[in-house]
Amino acid sequence: MAALGKRKRPRALFNNSQTQNSRPNSSSNTQDDTHTAGDSNGEGFVEGSIVRITMQNFLSYNHSEVIPGPNLNMIVGPNGTGKSSIVCAICLGLAGKTAVLGRGDKVGLYVKRGCTKGFVEIELYRTGANLVIKREIHVENNQSVWTVNGRHASQKAAEEEVKALHIQVGNLCQFLPQEKVGEFAKMSKIELLEATEKSIGPPEMYEFHCKLKTFRTKEKEMENVCKNSASFLEKVTQRQERNKQDVERFYEKKRHLDMIKMLECKRPWVEYETARQELVVVKAERDKQKEKLKDLKELQGPTLRRIQAIDNQLRPIDNRMKEKSVAIKEASQRCKHKQDQLDLKNKEIEEIQHTVKLKETEEADRQKRIGNTRRMIEDLQAELRSVGAQEDVAPQIDAVNAELRRAQEERAQTDGELSDLRRDKDTQNGELMILKNKLRGLQDMMKRKEDALRGRFRDTYNALLWLRNNRQRFQGNVHEPMMLVINVKDARHAKYVESHLPQNDLRAFVFQRPEDMEVFMTEVRDHQRLRVNAVIAPPQSCAERPASRPIQSLQHYGFFSYLRELFDAPEEVMSYLCHQYRVNDIPVGTEKTKAMIETVIRESNLRILYTAEEKYTIKKSSYSNKTISSNSALRPSQFLSMTMDTEEKQLLEEKLQSAVQSLEAINVKMQALKDRVVQLDRRDHELRAQKKQLLEQKGKKRQLEQKISTKQGQVR
């Protein structure tokens, strides 16, 4: 079955069709096997065909030998006949990994329960001499001892022998256990092609395929490089065309600049020639003007002599004028000095006049103040006479002081009560904060469950948010996904509950009414396109359905509880689980149960049970009426291990409500005392004002006498 590299794809499937060559005779757990030998002379066998499979103390077999024909392609048979055991033997006997089988990860788990060791021996057809590989499995250290053709060998040597026959146990196109059918169905066309090449093609075919993919990748890369180069060339050509005109303009500009440079070199010579010609003309004009000047000087001689004579006559007159100017300047300075002295005297006169006016004004004000002071003295004397006639206010002051003391004593007492209430309030607030933190810790547990739901089942989480915002649209009870509302009492027991319930139900919403579920599914599945699950609770509640027998009758087997007693859930959810999965009738045991599991299976008539770390399913064979059991290791809980103590939550909520009520009562008392403090402060203010008024009235006479004396002193 395992090494049919050049025949049809081998498979290990369960179905109802059988052929003569593919039906192995195998024993049950309690009887020795018989077998029908296949073609022993090698006729029809190809390299790597399985000739014989021998199993001892392996899974459900005590001892079994299977001799398949040359055309073994799949193993079929009724449930419980040991098909999976043969498939596991083929895989492990041909040096396959336990991960290929998708069952236990330890090879020791494949030894029959109660035995310390077992072995699988496989004989493979090979030209010249058949290959016999034997794998002896020891439970104690979970190790294997290998022999190849009767000689001790390592696992690596066994793998090399198997590989030489082109046997690929890890290739799903060549070896397909039942547990890997789903994984095989998920394989893409590319993965199937590669697996098929490895399975039926020569060894170099897959290598050629890989090289072909590499060459194709390089071809695409070179095409991209070529395409990019062509694009770059086109861009450079376009840029060159655009730059051609710029280059032509550049060379034309250069020619003009060379011409300008040459002309700049010629310009000094032209300027020199022009200047030289102008110089010749100017010199001729200069000589001509010299001749004219000479003639004019000869004509001006008599006139110049007359001017000189007149200058000689004017010189004494100029000297006298300068002397007169100096005398006038000195006289002006003396006049200015006298004018400054006169201005200073006028200013002193104005200041004296201003001082006189101020003195007159001050005198008028002083006389006015004296008149006002005299009138004020008369008024104060009249008021003093009226005050002298009033009664003594000392008794009234004493009465006010006594009432003030009483008000202050009551205020001090009220302040003391307020301080006591503040201390009580601080204590109560501290207790309230502790209770809130504890309750928040329990609520955070629920939030972690929601986070796990959001991370694993996003559509279910989105549907949950929609449900919380639209509960008014439903008539009956609607419960959130079971993984949120199921609360396992002890986190250690979460693995039993989670193992018993399918994931599809753990994330399912539970409805009391069918019409509510129809509304929900129409919205979230049809309109929002969310993939969610929903179930309806039974019309008649099964939540309190009794177990078929009391748990006490099973305690001598190590059972301590039924599944239902391990968790809490709303009534509709519990009713659905009891009806659908009989959680009220599934017992949970301990290591003691595992130690006596054969007795439990034989005597208890249970269909499903749990030990400390395993789940057992027991049923009767439809063909032989024999008891068939299967077990699987329990995986750690992923969702239900986050538990919340509902009794503790209820107790915390009651304490929190009581603390809030106590705090409200303290606030009411404090407010009443604060109101009383306000009243006392108001009364204290009134009494102090009254006392101040009486004291002012008592001291008013003395003040009036002092004022009169002061005013009379001011008049003098």
From CA 51, how far away is CA 41, in angstroms rounded?
A: 10
Query: Token pair for residue 554?
Result: 């099973």
The whole-model pTM stands at 0.37
Share of the chain above pLDDT 70, in %: 84
- Report if residue 164 sits inside a domain: yes
Shared domain check, 560 and 702: no
- pLDDT score recorded for residue 30: 30
Q: Which of 714, 707, 715 is nearest to 379 (CA)?
A: 707
pLDDT at 669: 87
177 φ, ψ (degrees, to nearest 5): -65, 160
- Cβ atoms 617, 608 nearer than 8 A: yes
Residue 604 lies in a domain: yes
Element (H, E) at 604: none
Same domain, 89 and 196: yes
Name the residue with higher pLDDT: 396 or 599: 599
Residue 225 lies in a domain: no
Query: What local confidence, expressed as pLDDT, does residue 555 receive?
Result: 92
**568 vs 560: CA distance, rounded Å:** 17
Q: For position 12, what pLDDT does the model report?
A: 34
The region of weakest confidence among 10-14, 395-399, 586-590, 661-665 is 10-14
The yes-or-no verdict on residue 19 having pLDDT over 60 is no
How far apart are the C-alpha atoms of 425 and 405, rounded to whole Å?
A: 30
What range does the domain containing 194 cover? 50-201
Cα dihedral 516, 521, 523, 526, rounded to 10, equals -150
Percent of the chain at pLDDT > 90 equals 23
According to the model, what pLDDT value does residue 109 have?
Answer: 84
Q: Which amino acid is at 715?
A: V
Asked if pLDDT for residue 385 goes beyond 80, the answer is no
Rounded-to-integer distance, Cα 107 and Cα 122, Å: 17
Split at pLDDT 50, 70, 90, the class of 646 is: low
Question: What is the rounded CA–CA span in Å between residue 169 and residue 133?
Answer: 15
Whether 666 shows a pLDDT value over 80: the answer reads yes
Q: DSSP alpha helices (H): ranges in 60-188?
A: 83-93, 98-101, 155-164, 181-185
Chain segment 212-221, per-residue pLDDT in tens: 778 888 888 8
Residues 609 and 600 sit within 8 Å (Cβ to Cβ): yes
Helix, strand or coil, per DSSP, at residue 630:
strand
Answer for the pair 517, 510: CB distance below 8 angstroms, yes or no. Answer: no
Task: Report the candidate in 65, 15, 77 with the shortest Cα–Cα distance to residue 35.
Answer: 65
pLDDT tens digits, residue range 326-379?
888 888 788 888 888 888 888 888 888 888 888 888 878 777 777 777 777 777
Residue 25: predicted pLDDT: 37
CA distance 408 to 402: 10
pLDDT higher than 50, residue 14:
no
Cβ atoms of 493 and 459 within 8 Å: the answer is no
Considering the domain architecture, whether residues 431 and 376 belong to the same structural domain is answered as no
Query: Looking at the domain assignment, is residue 28 inside a domain?
Result: no
Judge if 378 and 487 occupy the same domain: no
- Tell me the mean pLDDT in the region 447-457: 83
pLDDT-derived band at 522, boundaries 50, 70, 90: very high
Confidence at residue 679, expressed as pLDDT on a 0 to 100 scale: 87
Residue-averaged pLDDT of the chain:
81
What mean pLDDT is predicted for residues 367-392? 68
The 8-class DSSP code of residue 513 comes to S
Query: Per-residue confidence at 314, pLDDT binned at 50, 70, 90?
Result: confident
Convert the pLDDT of each residue in 152-182 to its tens digit: 988 888 888 888 777 877 777 767 676 666 7
Spatial strand order in the sheet of 478-479: 478-479, 508-511, 533-536
Is 440 contained in some domain? yes
Q: What is the model's pLDDT at position 701?
A: 62
d(CA 538, CA 322): 145
pLDDT at 534 over 90: yes
Q: Number of helices (H) and strands (E), helices first, in the chain?
A: 16, 16
The answer to whether residues 161 and 114 belong to one domain is yes
Long-range contacts (CB closer than 8 Å, 24 or more residues apart) made by 105-108: 106/142, 107/137, 107/142, 107/144, 108/137, 108/138, 108/139, 108/140, 108/142
CATH of the domain at 79: 3.40.50.300
CB contact at 8 A, 517 and 534: yes
Backbone φ and ψ of 511, nearest 5°: -115, 145
Of 640, 669, 700, the one marking the end of a domain is 640
DSSP 528-554: S----EEEE--SS--TTPPPSS-GGGG
pLDDT digits (tens, 9 = 90+) for 288-301: 998 888 888 788 77
Predicted confidence at residue 24, as pLDDT, reads 40
Which of 132-136, 370-374, 499-503, 507-511 has the least mean pLDDT? 370-374
Q: Do 630 and 691 reside in the same domain of the chain?
A: no
Higher pLDDT, 205 or 404: 404
Q: Contacts for 695-701 with beta carbons within 8 Å, 24 or more apart?
A: 695/397, 697/390, 697/393, 698/393, 698/394, 698/397, 700/387, 701/384, 701/387, 701/388
**Are residues 633 and 573 located together in one domain of the fold?**
yes
The torsion region of residue 151 among left (phi > 0), alpha (psi -120 to 50) and beta comes to beta
- pLDDT (average), residues 484-488: 89
Give the β-pairing of 117-124 and 50-58: antiparallel
Residue 250 has pLDDT above 80, yes or no: yes
Is the model's pLDDT at 143 over the cut of 90? no
Q: Is the pLDDT of residue 523 over 80?
A: yes
Does one domain contain both 518 and 665? no
Q: Would you say residue 77 lies in a domain?
A: yes
The reported pLDDT for the residue numbered 579 is: 94
Answer yes or no: is pLDDT of 18 > 50.
no
The pLDDT of residue 391: 55
pLDDT of residue 163: 81
Cα 611 from Cα 59, distance rounded (Å): 19
Contacts (Cβ under 8 Å, ≥6 apart) of 202: none
For residue 211, is it within any domain?
no
Which has more confidence, 659 or 537? 537
Same domain, yes or no: 530 and 660: no
Q: 166 with 83, same domain?
A: yes
Domain count, the chain: 4
The pLDDT score that the predictor gives to residue 496 is 93
**Total Cβ atoms within 10 A of residue 500:** 20
Least confident range from 64-68, 99-103, 548-552: namely 99-103
Q: Which residues contact 62 (CB under 8 A, 6 or more apart)?
A: 27, 29, 30, 32, 56, 112
Tell me: do 595 and 708 sit in the same domain. no
Written as six digits, the tokens of 99 are 């991960």
CB atoms within 10 A of CB 197: 19
Neighbours of 532 (CB within 10 A): 22
What is the DSSP pairing of strand 487-488 with strand 478-479? unpaired
> For 562-580, what is each residue's pLDDT tens digit?
999 999 999 999 999 999 9
Q: Which stretch of 112-121, 170-179, 217-226, 596-605 has the lowest confidence by average pLDDT?
A: 170-179
Residue 449, pLDDT score: 81
pLDDT in tens, 30-83: 333 333 333 345 567 888 888 999 999 888 888 989 888 888 777 888 877 788
SS3 category, 122 = strand
pLDDT band at 426 (very low <50, low <70, confident <90, very high): confident
Annotate 137-166 with b (16+ C-beta within 10 A) or e (fewer): bbbeeeebebbbeeeebeeeebbebbeebb
Q: Are residues 636 and 653 in the same domain?
A: no
Burial of 20 (0-12, 13-18, 19+ CB in 10 A): exposed
**Inside any domain, residue 41:** no
User: Which of 613, 640, 667 delimits the end of a domain?
Assistant: 640
Given 580, 612, 640, the domain boundary residue is: 640
What is the pLDDT at residue 73?
Answer: 76
Planar angle of CA 442, 446, 447, nearest 5 degrees: 110
